[in-house]
Chain A
Amino acid sequence: MPPDAIYHQQFDSLYADHNDWLQGWLRRRLGDRSTAADLAHDTFLRVWAKYRSEAQLQLLEPRAYLTTVAKRLMINHCERQSLEKAFIEALAQLPEPAVPSIEEQVIVLETLHELDRLLCELPPKVRSAFLMSQLEGLTYDSIAIHLQVNVRTVTRYMAQAFRQCLHLMLAGD
């Protein structure tokens, strides 16, 4: 049998054996049937991509493996939702002339997701310092006062944030 066919067969049986179980697992955590089905589907897509890129993949504990992948997707999903909720709330606060058009909103939201991905691992103070500088254009002196740290610490925070962003941008996820 050609290798591709073997992968397909292995993957088919993985799907058949565990799909229902995985959907149930996700549904219990999310309380939402259709999101659970979507995320289970995404989980298998990831696993399939992994199957193809590695020449072999021995799954000793398939369910542990599937839940690891699913957990990560679930966190992504929740973060996406929390970001979108914050976005909608912030939009409602803007005065009429400052509200971006629908097309712009889509672009802004995508950019926010990308920036969020770069920033989410940073300690809160580092992230706040970075955003005050990059979004609000505050000087390091003002940031230092806001965060009650000294200017050297602000400079260190900034370097840390730039380092993290560049690493993620250049190395991919």
Chain B
Amino acid sequence: MNNYTEERVNSRVINEAADWLARIHGKALSEEETRAWKQWLKQSPEHQRVWSSAEQLAHQFGRIEPTLGISVLDRPRTGISRRKLLGIITALTVMPSATWFGIQLFRANTFNGYRTATGERREVLLADSSLVVLNTASALDVKFNGEYRSLQHLSGEIYVKTSSDNVELAKLPFIVETENGRLRALGTRFAVRNDEFGTRISVFEGAVEIVTKDTLSTVVVESGRQVMFTSRAVGELTPIPVGSDAWKDGVLYAQGMRLADFTKELTRYRVGLLYCSPAIGDIPVSGAFQLADTDKILQLLADTLPVKIDTRTRYWVTINPL
């Protein structure tokens, strides 16, 4: 979908946005840089409009499975240079009407969907400066209106760090809707994971209130605690295991985890099939593993445990006893 605007956006703002984007994707900004970036964003509605296009672009990339995207978008080109040709006939371009622009912009500003492919991780800065990290194979819609800040968590796992930098927006309740119920952030840092068993909420800082969807039971989860819940029931509050949010830094952390469970966790980050033979399912695995390269993790398992990796194809891998 094209994001047209009525008047031309200042090239300087676009260039500055591009420089910020190139820095942000390169490495995490320091606190000072983050402040400078926020200052930049606050300068004018035009700055925010350019940034919302950048978010839209990220959203489009998020829809594409990486391998597929590379083979299609990086395919060898025929070498036709369109630039000269386009230069001659730019005058022919037909622009859609102003009414249509208005609607597109309105929608782009109030509703945003984000999605990650398997193995992908994505950070999203929301309009109120809150940070959301999407783990592998996750989907999220963001809706901010005059009454609340709302995230529709559709699948997978997200990490949220709410912000009160924007005084106006910070007054609005911060809500996460999941298929099993509604979460209200009373504090600042938490993670939500949806899987076939239910929704798990882990609170790292502050507190989060759960209201289950069908039974409307209310439970407050305090900092350092996690709990599973379904639309009808809330489980037992337990301490958060060490490293359970390590994924947001691209790390899978295991401390005596059963190989069967470890393998299951790993499949979330890999396209294709990955099986662990039941005979070796109980072997304990410990360590911090870089999720960026799951092949390397498998190699590490083979190097350190009495197992071998049988690869039939890149997408069909079995872990067997030696």
Contact = CB atoms under 8 A, between A and B. Distances in A.
A50 B95 CA distance: 10
A95 interface: yes
Contacts of B58: 134
A140 B27 CA distance: 8
Contacts of B75: 82-83, 86
Nearest to A48: B94
A113 to B, nearest CB: 10
Contact of B26 (A83, A119, A155): A155
A172 B93 contact: yes
A116 B316 contact: no
B67 A93 contact: yes
A19 interface: no
A87 B72 CA distance: 6
Interface stretch (A4-12, A32-40, A159-167): A159-167
Which of A75, A133, A134, A139 has the most chain B CB within a 10 Å cutoff?
Answer: A134
Interface string A144-173: 000000010011101110110111011111
Interface string B6-23: 001101001101110111
Contact of A114 (B1, B78, B88, B315): B1
B289 interface: no
A135 interface: yes
Interface string B99-125: 000000000000000000011110000
A90 interface: yes
A90 B82 contact: no
Given A50-B92, A169-B53, A98 B315 contact: yes
A169 B73 contact: no
Contacts of A133: 25
A56 to B, nearest CB: 14
Interface string A104-143: 0001100110111011110010011001111111011000
Contacts of B60: 111, 114-115
A112 B72 contact: yes
Given A169-B3, A171-B8, A86 B71 contact: yes
Given A83-B72, A90-B67, A136-B66, A158 B94 contact: no
Given A72-B89, A90-B68, A95 B272 contact: yes
Contacts of A162: 17-18, 21-22, 54
A156 B21 CA distance: 11
A28 interface: no
B61 A135 contact: yes
A82 B22 contact: no
A72 B8 CA distance: 24
Interface residues on A, range: 35 or more
For the residues of A in contact with B, the DSSP-based class is helix
Interface residues of B, number: 66
Interface string A75-98: 100100011001101110111011
Given A46-B92, A72-B89, A169-B56, A155 B22 contact: yes
B108 to A, nearest CB: 10
A28 B86 CA distance: 23
A101 interface: no
Contact of A108 (B64, B94, B96, B315): B64
A49 interface: yes
Which of B63, B78, B313, B316 has the most chain A CB within a 10 Å cutoff?
Answer: B63
A72 B85 contact: yes
A116 B60 CA distance: 11
Given A107-B63, A131-B73, A133-B25, A170 B3 contact: yes
A173 B2 CA distance: 9
Given A158-B26, A165-B57, A171-B9, A115 B73 contact: yes
Contact of B271 (A49, A95, A135, A173): A95
B65 A112 contact: no
Contacts of A89: 71
Top 3 A-B pairs, shortest CB-CB distance? A95-B315, A162-B18, A159-B22
Given A72-B85, A98-B118, A166-B17, 10 more contacts: A46-B92, A49-B94, A90-B71, A94-B67, A108-B65, A120-B77, A131-B70, A135-B66, A136-B70, A159-B22
